[in-house]
Each structure stands twice: as C-alpha cells, then as structure tokens.
Structure 1
Amino acid sequence: MPTLKTKIKEYREKALIKQNELAELVGVRRETIVHLENGKYNPSLKLAMDIAKVFGTTVEELFEFED
C-alpha cells in the first residue's frame, strides 16, 4: 500500500515558521502538523490546499505517494 510522503517540514523550516504558527495559519492543532510531518496523518484536501497556499506552492509539490 502506498504511503503519503510530505515536504511540509522542509518548507516550514525554510520559511522559518514554527509548527504552532503553521497550525494557527491553517486552523488546526499543532499536533496535527506534527502527525503530518511524521507521516501518521493524511490531510483532507482542504487542509492540504491550505498548507500549500501558506507556502505558495502546489499540493503535488508538498505531498506525494510512495510505493
């Protein structure tokens, strides 16, 4: 089964944004960002789009499925 890989941490660190700041920007708890970065949570399409918007990139750039 493919797993969802994310570049959220990479983008967040480049932008000097803390997990709690990103969480606030997209309307979720910090724990949600932690789980996303650790690959333990698959975001809704809306959340994925909101996060991509914060970083000025696409959902496809931030998330990818890996076999």
Structure 2
Amino acid sequence: MSSLTQLAMKHGDQMMSAGYALETLADLLGGDGSEHHLSSQDLDGLRHAVRALGGFALLAGAELCQVAEQGGAQ
C-alpha cells in the first residue's frame, strides 16, 4: 500500500470524526434552530475545540499534499 493511500485512510477517518464534531458545534451555536444557553466556560471550550479542529485540518491537508507531490508511492 502506498504512503499516500495509508495517509489518506488515516486522515479520512480522523476527518470524518472532525466533521461530526463540527456539526455538533454548529448545533450548539444555534445551527439546529434551538437556543442554547452557554456559559462563558462553555464558550471558551467551544473556541478551543474549533481551534483544535482547524489545526488538525490544516496539518492533515498539508501532509496529504506533501505526500501527493512526492508521488504517493514511497
């Protein structure tokens, strides 16, 4: 199995988890049409969650691009 395929499988699973997490965050922020009463601690936690998910997406994309540019078959 090529390194690109291995990396794509690894990050694909993690990206699906991140997608579910982002959908949940959107709902908590009112995307589900409901009003959620969030404390300042809840909002701080949401900010950290979004930052962590963004960092993961940037890293995963960079790693996938790097392996693809190298030919993906190492």
Q: State the TM-score, normalized to the length of structure 2.
A: 0.27
Query: Which protein has the bigger strand share?
Result: 1
Q: Of the two, which has the highest radius of gyration?
A: 2
Query: Which protein has the bigger helix share?
Result: 2
Q: State the TM-score, normalized to the length of structure 1.
A: 0.29
